[in-house]
Amino acid sequence: MSLRVVQWATGGVGVAAIKGVLEHPDLELVGCWVHSPAKVGRDVGELIGGPPLGVTATNSLDDIVALDADAVIYAPLLPNPDEVAALLRSGKNVITPVGWLYPSERSAAEIKQAALDGNATLHGTGMAPGGFSDKFPLLFSAFSTGVTFVRAEEFSDLRTYDAPDVLRHVMGFGEVPDKALSGPMQKMLDGGFIQAVKMVVDQMGFAADPRVRATQEVAVATAPIDSPLGVIEPGQVAGRRFHWEALVDDEPVVRVTVNWLMGEENLDPAWTLGPEGQRYEMEVRGNPDITVTVKGFHSEVGDTGPERGIVGTAAHCVNSVPAVCAAEPGILTMLDLPLISGKAAPHLAQEMR
């Protein structure tokens, strides 16, 4: 029997998740929560640009709680712990890319109790964090001994990110440096990336300071730069770097870095993506040293269709649903679950026996 899935929110990740559920042989879409009143009452197939699915969108938490469903893929822009707790208490497993990747016992005590009360499981996942910042560096570290340093780094050209309001008002592009540096982006990123660093530290056994050092830098335009939010003028922010580091005696042993650039020209400092371009890069220093580069999750300027990284984030959530539904109740990290894989395309899949 198929697992019954609800999609919470229909932004980029949500739309990709719905399409992923429809392709997954073990899942069935039975509900959808939407933020916009204009989407309420519409068929979800219409919302994703496809044929009718017979599933009607709602903006009522009570409607979703009342549904007979096994899991909710919870993908709003920002998490609401009260919503997640209500979903868990209703007996629905929750898979999300917006939090609870590797929470501390203290910070997650109430929501863990909600999961236990509902005999349900909460699982945080994603791409970065939730994959290339934590899961995959740990995976590749298995091929080395005596590890002294782990690095995970993202290199992205944000001219492909067609979300002008988010780029300016959340991420700080096009602002003066002081406004960007004091804006919400650092705090929004800290929760997930600090948890990712702590997961690697704990799993590998580094004697690191419990405080993760978080820092940020900006680059400004030296000439006008075309971007999804319009022209970025000289002196305005056109590049951002964020670092999260675990330290042993003031020396980094785990570092996660995000590099977001509006192209590679006319920046001060003169940051570039390097000769390998957009990518995720993971490094393990030990015996032997290992460097892994992953490409394919970044769209190129001028590409049409959804951002590939958004699709990958949604896929990681969708493919995690069966394992999360089969798991013990509580909050489970990717360290607690078995190997997660994708599934064959429907036209290539084995027939059910």
Q: What is the pLDDT of residues 259-291, one digit of tens each?
A: 999 999 999 999 999 999 999 999 999 999 999
Q: What pLDDT, on a 0 to 100 scale, did the predictor assign at position 300? A: 87
Residues 156, 158, 162, 165, CA torsion sign: positive
Q: What is the CA radius of gyration of the chain?
A: 21
Instruction: Flag the least confident range among 71-80, 271-280, 298-307.
Output: 298-307
Q: What pLDDT, on a 0 to 100 scale, did the predictor assign at position 285? A: 98
Question: At 286, is the secondary structure helix, strand, or coil?
Answer: strand
> What is d(CA 320, CA 340) in angstroms, rounded to the nearest whole number?
6
The stretch 28-38 carries a mean pLDDT of 97
% residues pLDDT > 70 (the chain): 99
Delimit the CATH 3.30.360 region(s) of the chain: 135-296
238, 221 in Cβ contact below 8 A? yes
Spell out the residues 6+ positions from residue 333 whose beta carbon is closer than 8 angstroms to its own: 101, 102, 123, 124, 199
How many Cβ atoms from other residues are within 10 Å of residue 129's Cβ? 28
161, 306 in Cβ contact below 8 A? no
Q: What pLDDT, on a 0 to 100 scale, did the predictor assign at position 353? A: 45
pLDDT in tens, 159-213: 988 889 989 999 999 999 999 999 999 999 999 999 999 999 999 999 999 999 9
CA 314 vs CA 47, 159, 189, 193, 226: distances in Å:
16, 21, 18, 18, 29
Beta strands in the chain (DSSP E): 3-8, 27-33, 57-58, 71-74, 93-96, 121-124, 145-157, 213-221, 225-227, 230-232, 237-248, 251-261, 267-268, 279-287, 290-294, 330-331
3-127+310-348 CATH: 3.40.50.720
> What is d(CA 176, CA 237) in angstroms, rounded to the nearest whole number?
6
pLDDT in tens, 304-344: 777 889 999 999 999 999 999 999 999 999 999 999 999 99
Question: At 9, is the secondary structure helix, strand, or coil?
Answer: coil
The stretch 92-104 carries a mean pLDDT of 96
Delimit the CATH 3.40.50.720 region(s) of the chain: 3-127+310-348
Full-model pTM: 0.94
The stretch 240-251 carries a mean pLDDT of 97
- Above 70 in pLDDT, residue 60? yes
Question: At 27, is the secondary structure helix, strand, or coil?
Answer: strand
Spell out the residues 6+ positions from residue 169 whose beta carbon is closer than 8 angstroms to its own: none
Q: To the nearest 5 percent, what fractions of the chain are helix, strand and coil? A: 30, 30, 40
- Above 60 in pLDDT, residue 352? no
Q: What pLDDT, on a 0 to 100 scale, did the predictor assign at position 350? A: 81
135-296 CATH: 3.30.360
% residues pLDDT > 90 (the chain): 91
CA 255 vs CA 138, 176, 265: distances in Å:
13, 27, 26
Q: Mean pLDDT, the chain, as a whole number?
A: 95
Q: Would you place residue 254 in the very low, low, confident or very high pLDDT band (cuts 50, 70, 90)?
A: very high
